Chain A
């Protein structure tokens, strides 16, 4: 992924498991139970490679469970999950990066040392891992904070470090579980803009779980609504793309009557799904 930034994408080869091959993520009749409760019951989803799917739904509808099943941290009780051709949990784990609402930074490591963890885990020396992560720090606006510990950073910066670490893992599928949920609205808007720009620069298959309908509509090209427990997909809307970045473009988008209508549609589905 580091090479892909400056050079054109390498030719897809079927031998490279991390290269997208048409379908990104596909869920078929996926179900999960915890004791007596059905967390997810018969979820069907298709996320084409390099597209961005938003999932909204009431609290406790199994959105997070769905993400941990996709990335192979847990297995579904029934149904199949296919991530870029891998159906087994270790294969899915190799292809998916997961970013939860909490930044989960290691308090004893500085920004750079936190960000290079995925590379150290792959067997690179600290020095080599630092060298490869350094350009990302610049790009994420964190270069001057390389040695700061997480406790010295603001919530927005910590979340950016966490995101940087997720990106450094070099996985083709990003699973974002309310990534900006804990931030104030201005920081959240900044990071949404920044994430949009980053994904436009370097497309990945994204599944975004959020409470925030606007966030889903701003960042994704399709948004599905899940019902209350047991979670099931009840509605799906396609979101036309919009151009431009920054606060002005974002305000224009939010005021666009088509966007407002789309938001009302999703909110209506959400209310019906409760």
Chain B
């Protein structure tokens, strides 16, 4: 992702920020209703040492660990389901079912069971993230050109060789589509978890800040969450560029030339 590809989105962001600053100043919007970008920035700096640094660290740990767990579990389950039609029939409906459980409902229940520890947050992040990873893996493996597999069988390829040399590499673009979705959802899971019971973390900061009308602090927490999500997303894209250089990824292509 080069600087020339980024500048349109930077420009749009700058224009939106400018409009936001302009509107809040011209209309004299109260800070507790909608803080101006400069007030958010000031709060970010002022409260970094006292509140935000430790909260960011806690949330970052939850996001990264939860994401790692869901990637490992998602890849493993996706591959296992690919190998066994029986397992696919047994687990696929349950997998879909797991996504219909509202996270808002399950978050407090997990908080009751596991308390204020990191466990319920990891479970929530993993629960949200692992679905796109499984589906991406499974779809990628299922859509491998069957002719490629037949060809490998005539070239002394056994089941494991076919999987490692053809099926898995061919599925990687689809796996990364799942990973990008998971990276975008991870922060949401962590915040839900912290909202339902936590002693620290950006979700905890927001839950404390809203009733105290500390809107600038809430916005500062949102900025940090967004930044973490963007970095995670960029890391996934970077990994994809390293591992799947032969495939064109739509999010990093401004145009095809």
Could you tell me if A68 and B150 are in contact, using CB atoms closer than 8 angstroms?
Answer: yes
B83 CB → nearest A CB, Å = 19
| B246 adjacent to A169 (CB under 8 Å) | no
- A165 vs B154: C-alpha distance in the bound complex, in angstroms? 11
Number of contacts between A and B (CB, 8 Å)? 55
Chain B residues near A73 (CB-CB < 8 A): 150, 153-154
Closest approach, in angstroms, between the C-beta of B100 and any C-beta of chain A? Answer: 36
- When A104-B147, A108-B246, A121-B161 are in contact, do A98 and B152 touch as well, CB less than 8 Å? no
A108 and B244: CB pair below 8 A?
yes
CA distance A122 to B155 in the complex (A): 9
B:108-158 near A, CB below 8 Å: 145, 147-148, 150-158
A contact residues around B153 at 8 Å (CB): 73, 93
A108 and B151 contact, Cβ closer than 8 Å, known pairs A118-B156, A121-B156, A149-B246: no
A96 at the interface (CB under 8 A from B): yes
A107 within 8 A of B: yes
Q: For the complex, would chain B's binding face be called helix, strand, loop or mixed by DSSP majority?
A: helix
Q: Does A106 contact B (CB under 8 A)?
A: yes
- Asked whether B169 lies within 8 Å of A117 as measured between CB atoms, the reply is no
Query: With A108-B169, A121-B165 given, is the CB distance from A100 to B147 under 8 Å?
Result: yes
B166 within 8 A of A: yes
Q: Are A121 and B246 in contact (CB under 8 A)?
A: no
Determine the chain A residues whose CB is within 8 A of the CB of B161 once the complex forms. Answer: 120-121
B150: A residues at CB distance < 8 A: 68, 73, 98
Report the bound CA distance from A98 to B152 in whole Å.
10
Give the B-binding residues of A (Cβ under 8 A). Answer: 68, 71, 73, 93, 96-98, 100, 102, 104, 106-108, 117-118, 120-122, 149, 151, 165-166, 169, 171
The 6 closest A-B pairs by CB, nearest first: A118-B155, A121-B156, A98-B154, A107-B246, A108-B246, A121-B157
**A-B residue pairs in contact (CB < 8 Å), sample of 14:** A73-B154, A93-B153, A97-B154, A98-B151, A98-B154, A104-B147, A107-B246, A108-B244, A108-B246, A117-B157, A121-B152, A165-B155, A169-B154, A171-B154
